[in-house]
Amino acid sequence: MTKTQKNLAILKALETLYPDAGPELHFSNPYETLVATMLSAQSTDVQVNKVTPAVFRDFPTVADMAATTPEILLPYVRSCGFRSKATNIVQAARDIMERFDGQVPNTLEGLTSLKGVGRKTANVVLANAFGVPAMAVDTHVFRVSNRLGLAQAASVEKTEQQLMKAIPKHLWNKAHHWLIFHGRRVCKAQRPLCASCGLKELCAHPQSEKERKASE
């Protein structure tokens, strides 16, 4: 089996395992996608989904968010981590009002020009809000893709570049979710469930039960 054939076999297996994989954050438009994704950094989708209903109720538009202050927003989002998130979200909204006529930009360059928006967040917004092919690499995608052998890289940036070559462009957005689902459910950072993994025959770094117990 060639490297390309193996990559495609891995993708097919992931699709079979997670046919309904998709965003687990709750949002209904590009603005909500951006805010939820910014809040999710070093937090969990479950926690973000607990706070966003109140955020979107009281700040339903970019203009509403731009008109508030970080101090007012902070109590809404404090449980999602860093205080800087409130500052970044308000400033990003102000940037959107001032430089993008109140519309969330739909390009990587535009999104990453916003306060607090890095490449990963921008790629998630492009894929989930606008349907633009993008390969967002979060901690799950990084870990799982390198374990499976879809990538062999020590950095997020290199992993993204390698995945964009290994995965057909029309599958980038779906593959992002497949890898996240697999990382959360099976290929966990600690104690991966290798013995029951549906990809163990294709995995570049399968862990035996003996090895797993030895690492505990």
Angstrom distance (rounded) from CA 101 to CA 36 = 21
Lowest mean pLDDT among 81-85, 123-127, 165-169, 181-185: 81-85
| Annotated active-site residue in 138, 165, 188, 213 | 138
95 counts as catalytic: no
Interval 67-126: pLDDT, tens: 999 999 999 999 998 889 999 999 999 999 999 999 999 999 999 999 999 999 999 999
Residue environment code for 196-215, b if the CB has 16+ CB neighbours within 10 A, otherwise e:
ebebeebbeebbeeeeeeee
- For residue 210, the model assigns a pLDDT of 47
The CATH number given to 30-130 is: 1.10.340.30
User: What topology does CATH give the domain 3-20+136-215?
Assistant: Endonuclease Iii, domain 2 (1.10.1670)
The residue ranges of every structural domain in the chain are: 3-20+136-215, 30-130
pLDDT > 60? residue 211: no
SS3 (DSSP) at 148: helix
Mean pLDDT on 196-207: 90
Q: How confident is the model at residue 197 (pLDDT cuts 50, 70, 90)?
A: very high
pLDDT > 90? residue 128: yes
| Annotated active-site residue in 58, 85, 115, 120 | 120
Topology alike, domains 3-20+136-215 and 30-130: no
* 189: its two tokens: 């950072």
101 counts as catalytic: no
Q: Between 172-185 and 3-17, two packed helices, what is the crossing angle to 10 degrees?
A: 70
* 93: its two tokens: 């909204």
Of 52, 128, 65, the closest CA to residue 102 belongs to 65
pLDDT > 80? residue 215: no
- Quote the percentage of the chain above a pLDDT of 90: 91
pLDDT > 50? residue 209: no
Interval 25-78: pLDDT, tens: 999 999 999 999 999 998 999 999 999 999 999 999 999 999 999 999 999 999
